Amino acid sequence: MGIRGQGIWLQFYMAGHFKNWSECGMVGNSNGMCHITLNEEIMPRKKSHEKVEVETYDHKGAKRKNIPLVGLVSSVTDPIDHKKKYQHDPHIDPYLSWAGKKEGTEFEVQNVSLHIHERIDPQRIIKSFLKKDTGPKQVSLFEQPDNEPPLNKAIDFYKHEQDWTNRLIAGDSLLVMNSLLNKEGIAGKVQMIYMDPPYGIKYNSNFQPFVDKKDVKDRDEDIPAEPEMIQAFRDMWELDIHSYLTHLRDRLLLAKELLHESGSVFVQISDENVHHVRELLDEIFEPENFMSLITFRKKTRPLRASYLESMSDYIVWYARNKEKGVKFHKLFIDQIIEGDKSWKWVELPDGVRRIMSEEEINNHELLPKNSRIFQIVSMIAAGFTPSCVFEIEFKGNKYSPKNGSWVTNKEGINNLIKQNRIVNAGKTLGLILYHEDYPVTELNNLWARTVGPKDKIYVVQTNTTIVEKCLLMCTDPGDLVFDPTCGSGTTAFVAEQWGRRWITCDTSRVAITLAKQRLMTANFDYYELAHKAEGIRSGLKYRTVPHLTVKSIAQEGAEKEETLYDQPIIEKNKVRVTGPFTVEAVPSLRIKPFDGKEPKIEGNGRELSQTGETGNQTLYRDELKTTGIRTTGGKKIEFSMVEPMVDYRRNV
Ligand SMILES: C[S@@+](CC[C@H](N)C(=O)[O-])C[C@H]1O[C@@H](n2cnc3c(N)ncnc32)[C@H](O)[C@@H]1O
């Protein structure tokens, strides 16, 4: 079946999930046209006869700089020969030292501009396919979106702004961040940065060489084939951990510049280098801005370690400026009380209160429906309040707060008695707290329930729930999130799901291809907007739960609620797909030869900026042949012949 103009879109579905068109819900006709019906696999929540609207959130009012379309650039409108100088603070105590650190207190980054290669708007395609009344309609994947500026404005790059679209950028993070800072004025506008750099342990364990090959081992055949990756790989590993730390330090410095004053940076790392990363972050963000060291479970089953098995990785979280206030929402997790002996009491539906059997404590299903599980807590306050010292008469007996004061005053105690919350607990009184008074508990820095990623497409993919927790804690809908280590696009995916704006980059085109495919084939629940007319920026509607404390129960009417920021209200008759995004690239990357001299960009840069090629294959091949690759331990790999790989051409 032929579908004109839709090749890539359909290919993504085919490559990602389906064996044939009908399986992905597309029906062809003899004219080579097709329409789409969203089947259970794409839209699993809906029965086929229900009408489903397909939507995206758009970020009304948010603007971005108009950056060049790849074919519209010349070296005059977009020169690439300037550099921006950055400086690290040399007077920091205590001082983590490594080879090259001292020499690297100043470094220059080439000012390059980012070029748009594709504008992707999957939602428009699905919408037009869904217009069944008017019959199937052909649209081009690259159809110009609504925010496409008129041509005369389109070449007025950087000077004017255009409506926001999210951004997937192929390029080294240092070049990309420098460009965002210096060409596009994004300094201070990013609310959260999630960075998951290679962990700095095995020389190539973080570089996936092919789209369809996830079992990367630390062996020569898995050395990345892309020129950009070879450069990134070499920058990071030329001097082992020393160059790794330089690589991270430079990038963290630029990341800091991008962050909003109330913003946060999260760096994911394993136990091998967590101490170094923490010290680097201390140096760049300052120790007072440390927020937390999060431990998350990375696997559910041990892998037979010789000694103590390592089940977790870490996220180091720093604020841009803690003193001035960090954007933060408390998250909650369900409080699990089954099996917990401190929750041993039950109130049956007929009002009878009794202690549970051991079996019942361990299995609440044995209790009658609508039973209320409760704890009996002390009525003596932790502190001392003279006005809360008095005698209570309860069921014919008199009680005093021995050597202390009650948790509330006389009026409060009367309220508690009225609500049947007080019980006789031996020689004193106890207060009943039901589980439903506060059914959740605050999320802390031990994320022990997380698991490895589901349906992994990338060798070092992060589970979405991990990025999600960080994002929900530190951003609101409409905020801008940046990930300089895109990989399979987990941060972009999570940001898209939760209505945040996003920018992400990766030096690997394998990663960019996977991320693009993942985003284009994604579908999400449609979360109800707080104020429809104001759009996503107004926020979402969330589920709330009671948070009753002894004090609030005693003072009737002073009930408190907690907002569950990870449980928005879902609009049942709508689903969402990824909103429009652009695929961009830095114009050129070059491989640094071992003599350390930067090769000069030849010519006037015109061809480069007009083609927008992310790599000059011949140049790379020649350079690779002459310079080889150095791996950890000073080993050098030399090449007698370098040719583009068939697999690589097919996959990227
Ligand atoms: C650990 S992975 C990130 C995985 C990601 N969290 C995910 O869920 O898929 C690190 C990524 O950083 C990328 N990377 C390495 N050096 C880079 C550089 N200098 N600039 C941009 N990306 C780089 C690698 O290509 C790799 O995709």
pLDDT value at 596 more than 70: no
User: Which residue from 213, 314, 460 has its CB within 8 A of the most atoms of ligand 1, so it is best to mutate?
Assistant: 460
With vertex at residue 180, the alpha carbon angle to CA 179 and CA 184, rounded to the nearest 5 degrees, is: 100
pLDDT tens figures, 490-547? 999 999 999 999 999 999 888 999 999 999 989 899 999 999 888 899 999 999 999 9
Q: How many CA atoms lie within 13 A of 427 on its CB side?
A: 3
How high is the pLDDT of residue 333?
Answer: 95
How high is the pLDDT of residue 100?
Answer: 86
CA neighbor of 447 nearest in space, from 250, 295, 649: 295
Query: In terms of pLDDT, which residue wins out, 446 or 163?
Result: 446
pLDDT value at 311 more than 60: yes
How high is the pLDDT of residue 72?
Answer: 75
How high is the pLDDT of residue 430?
Answer: 94
Mean pLDDT of 281-295: 97
Mean pLDDT of 378-386: 90
Residue where the block lists tokens 């950009």: 228
Query: Is the Cβ atom of 462 under 6 angstroms away from ligand 1?
Result: yes
Separation CA 236–CA 282 (nearest Å): 21
With cut-offs at 50, 70 and 90, classify the pLDDT of residue 73.
confident
Lowest average pLDDT, out of 24-38, 45-59, 137-151, goes to: 24-38
Which residue CA neighbors atom 26 of ligand 1 most closely?
487
Q: State in Å: Cα 244 to ligand 1 middle.
A: 13
With vertex at residue 606, the alpha carbon angle to CA 604 and CA 608, rounded to the nearest 5 degrees, is: 110
Mean pLDDT of 578-586: 93
User: Which residue from 206, 222, 298, 586 has its CB within 8 A of the most atoms of ligand 1, so it is best to mutate?
Assistant: 206
Query: Is the Cβ atom of 485 under 6 angstroms away from ligand 1?
Result: yes
Query: Is the Cβ atom of 506 under 6 angstroms away from ligand 1?
Result: yes
- Which ligand 1 atom is the nearest neighbour of the CA of 229? 25
The number of helices, as runs of H, and strands, as runs of E, in the chain is: 16, 32
Q: 329: which residues sit within 8 A by CB, 6+ positions away?
A: 472, 473, 474, 563, 565
- Please state the length of the chain: 652
Asked if 527 and 569 count as a contact pair (C-beta separation under 8 A), the reply is: yes
Q: 427: which residues sit within 8 A by CB, 6+ positions away?
A: none
Query: Is the Cβ atom of 487 under 6 angstroms away from ligand 1?
Result: yes
pLDDT tens figures, 332-343? 999 999 999 999
Lowest average pLDDT, out of 209-213, 418-422, 577-581, goes to: 209-213
The tokens describing 341, both together, are 């002996």
Highest mean pLDDT among 480-494, 593-607, 628-642: 480-494
Query: Is the Cβ atom of 488 under 6 angstroms away from ligand 1?
Result: yes
Separation CA 416–CA 556 (nearest Å): 9
Lowest average pLDDT, out of 49-63, 102-116, 240-254, 627-641, goes to: 627-641
Asked if 370 and 435 count as a contact pair (C-beta separation under 8 A), the reply is: no
Separation CA 74–CA 538 (nearest Å): 40
Query: Is the Cβ atom of 463 under 6 angstroms away from ligand 1?
Result: no
Query: Is the Cβ atom of 273 under 6 angstroms away from ligand 1?
Result: no
Domains present along the chain, CATH in parentheses: 7-50 (no CATH), 63-333+443-528+573-585 (3.40.50.150), 334-440+543-572 (no CATH)
Q: 644: which residues sit within 8 A by CB, 6+ positions away?
A: 617, 621
- Output the average pLDDT for the chain: 79
How high is the pLDDT of residue 45?
Answer: 46
Query: In terms of pLDDT, which residue wins out, 369 or 560?
Result: 369
Mean pLDDT of 350-372: 96
Could you give the percent of the chain with pLDDT greater than 90?
49
Which residue CA neighbors atom 2 of ligand 1 most closely?
487
Q: How many CA atoms lie within 13 A of 384 on its CB side?
A: 5
Query: Is the Cβ atom of 458 under 6 angstroms away from ligand 1?
Result: yes
CA neighbor of 235 nearest in space, from 594, 513, 644: 594
How high is the pLDDT of residue 70?
Answer: 79
Query: In terms of pLDDT, which residue wins out, 234 or 110?
Result: 110
Separation CA 264–CA 192 (nearest Å): 5
With cut-offs at 50, 70 and 90, classify the pLDDT of residue 68.
confident
Which residue CA neighbors atom 18 of ligand 1 most closely?
172
How high is the pLDDT of residue 234?
Answer: 65
Query: Is the Cβ atom of 243 under 6 angstroms away from ligand 1?
Result: no
User: Which residue from 486, 496, 519 has its CB within 8 A of the most atoms of ligand 1, so it is best to mutate?
Assistant: 486
